[in-house]
Amino acid sequence: MRYHLGRERVLVGVLQICAALGLLFGLEVPWIGRAAAAGLTLMMLLAVGVRIRIRDSLLQTSQALLYLVLNGWLCWAAF
């Protein structure tokens, strides 16, 4: 595969779904939302690293960068 994740691909998907649910639950329980946003921030930081490692262009990496900034902001300010 392009990202060289192999078996970790399923784990990444499950973690993304859990984090999305955590953001929704965070509307009622702020610490859950902050933890989910922090987890997604870390995941997107790793995604940027993967994109750099496989030599993607800045345009291809921009999605991960956008979500990195968005989740970082949610972790910092929104909850």
Q: What's the whole-model pTM score?
A: 0.87
* Residue 14: C-alpha distances to residues 8, 56, 79 (Å): 10, 24, 23
Kindly report, residue by residue over 5-50, the tens digit of the pLDDT: 788 889 999 999 999 999 999 999 999 999 999 999 999 999 999 9
The pair of three-digit structure tokens given for residue 45, joined into one six-digit string: 């930081």
Domain edges within the chain: 8-78
Q: What is the DSSP letter of 16?
A: H
3-state secondary structure of 10: helix
